[in-house]
C-alpha cells in the first residue's frame, strides 16, 4: 500500500507528498470555486491521473511487444457539473500517437488504454470519451 500525505497550506491550497519517493505537488482550488487557480485543482488531478494511466498502460503494452511509443501525448478536458453536488461530469481524453501502426497494433493499444484502473474507478457519474489520433 502506498501512502501519501496532504497538508493544508491555507487559502484553499494543499501540498501532497508521495510517501515512497518524497516528491510533492501543490493543489489550488479553481477560480470558479473560490481559489486562485494557480496550480492543479484536485479534480484536475483526476484527469491527469486518467491520462497518465492510459499512456502508462499503452506504454507497457508497447514495451512488451517491442513497439516504440515515445512522444505519445494525451490531452484531457474536464467538464464539471453542479447538480446534485459539484462533481466531474465528463472527461474527454484525446490521444495522439506518432508513428506507423497496423490495425492490429492499434486495436491492442486501444484495448490496453480502455483497461485503465483509474477509468474503472470513476464509476457511472463520470462520462469518459476517448479518441485516438494515430500517426499524429
Q: What is the pLDDT of residues 64-98, one digit of tens each?
A: 999 999 999 999 999 999 888 899 999 999 999 99
pLDDT confidence of residue 84: 87
What are the pLDDT digits (tens) for 15-56?
999 999 999 999 999 998 898 999 999 999 999 999 999 999
* DSSP per-residue letters across 42-74: HHHHHHHHHHHHHHHHHHHHHHHHT---TT-EE
Same domain, yes or no: 28 and 89: no
Residues 91 and 56 in one domain: yes
Q: Which three cell numbers stand for residue 111?
A: 484495448
Tell me, what's the pLDDT at 130?
A: 97
Is the pLDDT confidence value at 136 over 90? no
pTM: 0.93
pLDDT of residue 123: 86
Whether 113 and 66 share a structural domain? yes
Range of the domain at 26: 4-33
- Rg over CA atoms, the chain: 17
CA 104 to chain centre: 25
Task: Convert the pLDDT of each residue in 90-121 to its tens digit.
Answer: 999 999 999 999 999 999 999 999 999 999 99
Residues 79 and 125 in one domain: yes
Q: Based on the domain organization, do 11 and 68 belong to the same domain?
A: no
Query: Do 52 and 100 reside in the same domain of the chain?
Result: yes
CB 85 within 8 A of CB 62: no
Do 13 and 53 belong to one domain?
no
- 23 & 59 share domain: no
Query: Is the preceding omega at residue 84 within 30 degrees of 0, hence cis?
Result: yes
Q: How many structural domains is the chain composed of? A: 2
Q: In this structure, are 85 and 129 located in the same domain?
A: yes
What is the CATH number for 58?
A: 3.30.300.20
Amino acid at each position: 500500500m502506498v501512502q501519501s500525505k496532504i497538508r493544508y497550506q491555507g487559502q484553499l491550497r494543499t501540498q501532497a507528498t508521495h510517501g515512497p519517493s518524497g516528491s510533492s505537488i501543490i493543489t489550488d482550488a479553481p477560480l470558479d470555486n473560490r481559489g486562485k487557480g494557480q496550480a492543479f485543482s484536485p479534480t484536475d488531478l483526476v484527469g491527469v491521473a486518467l491520462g497518465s494511466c492510459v499512456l502508462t498502460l499503452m506504454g507497457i503494452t508497447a514495451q512488451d511487444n517491442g513497439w516504440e511509443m515515445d512522444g505519445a501525448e494525451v490531452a484531457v478536458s474536464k467538464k464539471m457539473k453542479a447538480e446534485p453536488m459539484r462533481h466531474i461530469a465528463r472527461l474527454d481524453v484525446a490521444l495522439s500517437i506518432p508513428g506507423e501502426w497496423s490495425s492490429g497494433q492499434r486495436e491492442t493499444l486501444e484495448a490496453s488504454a480502455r483497461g485503465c484502473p483509474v477509468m474503472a474507478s470513476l464509476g457511472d457519474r463520470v462520462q469518459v470519451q476517448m479518441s485516438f489520433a494515430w500517426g499524429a
